[in-house]
Structure 1
Amino acid sequence: MEDDKHSLGLRVIHWLMAIFIIGMLCSGLYMKSLPLSNEIKFNIYAIHKACGITILGLIIVRIFFRVFTYVPPLPANFSRFVINISKAVHFGLYSLMVLMPLSGYVMSSASGKQIKYFFHIPLLINQNKDLANTANELHSMLAYFIVLFIILHMLGALKHTFIGKQNIFKRMI
């Protein structure tokens, strides 16, 4: 039944962002492992930054879809506790999907490093090594949190699909 599914736009953006975010986490780990002398590192950085800008754009569209399109209610047999956990995990994911690209932008901007997209993204922050280092640490820390929230999100979906037999997964496919 179509009433228990999210809108097609939200479903497409959900899976597109899932692919982007997993790719970004993998590329981030790979970049960190490469020595500064490796030229591939800087090519990956450029792609990573462009994908980060794409994710920021997608999350804005996603929030729009979430606010202005039909969101099916959770199953009636979900306890208040489960509903609150679900809302907290979703809020955490949405927050992190905004904060990760913003912290990356601040890091690049405060480092004086251009972000090339289809054009150069203006650097709105003056070069500031301390701010760049802080943004770098924040960006890395947020990566661990987004991994945690992705795992919680997946475990919740799997638990309700296979243990609770509520097939919550069908809402996003």
Structure 2
Amino acid sequence: MKNIAFLLVISIFLISCSKSDDNPGNNPDDANYIVYPNSSVVVNNTENGTFIEVESGNKLVFEYRYSTEGRPEIADDELTEVLYFELEPNTENFSINEENFEVTSTFLGKFCFCGRTGYFQVTSGEINGEKIGDLQWKVSLDVDAFIAAENDTPEMTFQASASGTFKPAN
């Protein structure tokens, strides 16, 4: 009986982590695209995971944030994804990829009821942008963060794909 209950729990876990939850799609209308001038990404690694903070500094910090409300008839199906990266303040056009994700402090966060969540270093993909005005950049991103297996959790890849205009928060 314990084996059946265990298989049922594992099945529910795997279903809740389907691909459809991992990638909400391109250009979410309700996503936030924010740039923070005179800032820096601060990465805090703890035993409970990696935490990201935006603090005063000498860089431009870009934040992409998308959240779903989920369906009312389903408990715990909400999702939030957050992407941070930082660039030099005089940046006009840019392309970030595997060669410079670490230098630009590029992290993807996924927060849902779907196994391992938190912030993870982006490992593949690309972020491209061009300055279109004073503190405004048109940016497209299509990135992955690979998360190695840990304890009883299998390896997984989080994805984010979107494009929008980053500008300072109101």
Q: Same fold (TM over 0.5)?
A: no
TM-score band w.r.t. shorter chain: under 0.3
Q: Which structure shows the higher strand fraction?
A: 2
Larger Cα-atom Rg: 1
TM-score, length-normalised on structure 1?
0.27
Q: Which has the higher helix share?
A: 1
Q: Which has the higher contact order (CA 8 A, sep 6+)?
A: 1
